[in-house]
Structure 1
């Protein structure tokens, strides 16, 4: 049985989930006061604040970082990649810190997972980051020749909901055409 800490930094909160294999054992949501977040000049500057919030919740609930086998962060604004699960590596860390596709709280997910994992000599991953790019050529059309559409959306949520629907209805996810909306701090 694998015990994982899942880290989801968003624009208005940081959520964590404690999983044993695919079973959610506990989850916590730390809402962040917008006035507090405005004190930071960049998203990257929020790193220590969000890390400390996670550590406080774990400590309050007597959960040690050492008890986890792996750490998974929400993928951020990396270079476009296909959907999947990725090991966090130095190139990814550099891209998240630089904000190669922009600055967003999700960039902190891989950084937090990486640092918690390094402290405990465990692996760190991200899954289906917001830059998943599997658009067909026609989906890239914007209506203006000089403007190409970029694929940036809540891929992790969209894919999870689609796969859950397929499973519950005994259908193949790959054979479906679904309309899925993510309604959170950001909407896609």
Structure 2
């Protein structure tokens, strides 16, 4: 009889802390714990004990024995670049997060909170596939300016989780397949997965590649230079291309549900925008097919925008000749995190050590733009 394991999953958001308890693959309990208005205005690192105590209180209120938990898994934050996988939380990881080594963001609290609770329970804390996963080949990082390299910043957690799931359904292993995974949401990132390694991916967080719900996507160089001279305030320009571009600029919403409703209502403007996005995503998928030298087993469409079947269909029309296309709408963060910890508990994956996996690419994330 197989063992049963319980994993507490923690995903810190700006105004809440989302927690869930999984017993193997079953979600036993999930809740969002809100912060007070006073606590929201605190520095994020001053919120650690407040959020931690709220988690303990939630367990007491529902009558769930927190000591029955076998591991705690938090969402990974802005660490130094590392390869994909499940990582045990270490002192060095916590130190880098508190120092905001690659930026201050609420996601940095994931590993910190997991460590606080795990230490109290004398169990291990983990993170899984943070956005800083960097497995790109050297040639994929090169640009036409020797001092500038492309950076690997993408939806690693969802992409790798979906990749593992599609491999399992194909009676194969993730490290034996070539996949193209397109995550479409607030940012759009499309990765070429070669035998379990993301050898190339567009930097959707800085806005490289297709536009998205909020991001403008790649812009012609000369026009971007002209735009920078029109807007001398760097923060204003970043806001325009990172938070006020893409679908938001066209339709005035950054909610996938709103866009879906407009498309289903046959709104002509929304349909034109979605067809344009489909064209750009399909073109990026084609680029990744070239990266994989045409050897593509599956293409997967995922993320919140993948809830729009019209978008998926338009993409499929252009890329289905490359490989079979599968739809995995949404982004199940909590389940993906729990599965990462479960693989370690079951002994099917060896947890990695952060200190040994850090990639030295110089100031790889200088002036990095981050949006949750």
Q: Following superposition of structure 1 onto structure 2, how do residues 69-108 of structure 1 map, counting pairs within 5 Å?
A: 69-108=70-109
Q: Following superposition of structure 1 onto structure 2, how do residues 109-188 of structure 1 map, counting pairs within 5 Å?
A: 109-174=110-175, 175-181=177-183, 183=185, 188=189
Q: Is 1:22 the counterpart of 2:25 in the alignment?
A: yes
Q: Following the alignment from structure 2 to structure 1, what is the Cα–Cα distance between the partners of residues 21 and 53?
A: 17
Residue in 2 that maps onto 1:64? 65
Q: Retained in 2: the 8 A contact 1:65–1:116?
A: no
- After TM superposition, the score normalised by the length of structure 2 is 0.45
Aligned residues: 185
Which structure has the larger Rg? Answer: 2
Q: Secondary structure at the match of 1:66?
A: helix
Gaps of 5+ in 1: none
Residue in 1 that maps onto 2:9? 6
Tell me which of the two structures has the higher relative contact order, counting C-alpha pairs closer than 8 angstroms and 6 or more residues apart.
1
Q: Secondary structure at the match of 1:44?
A: helix
Query: Which has the larger share of helix?
Result: 2
Q: Following the alignment from structure 1 to structure 2, what is the Cα–Cα distance between the partners of residues 12 and 139?
A: 37
Q: Following the alignment from structure 1 to structure 2, what is the Cα–Cα distance between the partners of residues 182 and 49?
A: 33
Q: CA 1:165 to 1:44, structure 2 compared with 1: closer, same or farther past 3 Å? A: same
Q: Following the alignment from structure 1 to structure 2, what is the Cα–Cα distance between the partners of residues 182 and 157?
A: 11
Q: CA 1:168 to 1:92, structure 2 compared with 1: closer, same or farther past 3 Å? A: same
Q: Following the alignment from structure 1 to structure 2, what is the Cα–Cα distance between the partners of residues 130 and 159?
A: 11
Gaps of 5+ in 2: 190-372
- After TM superposition, the score normalised by the length of structure 1 is 0.83
Residue in 2 that maps onto 1:46? 47
Q: Retained in 2: the 8 A contact 1:157–1:182?
A: no
Note the C-alpha offset of 1:148: 1.5
Q: Secondary structure at the match of 2:158?
A: helix
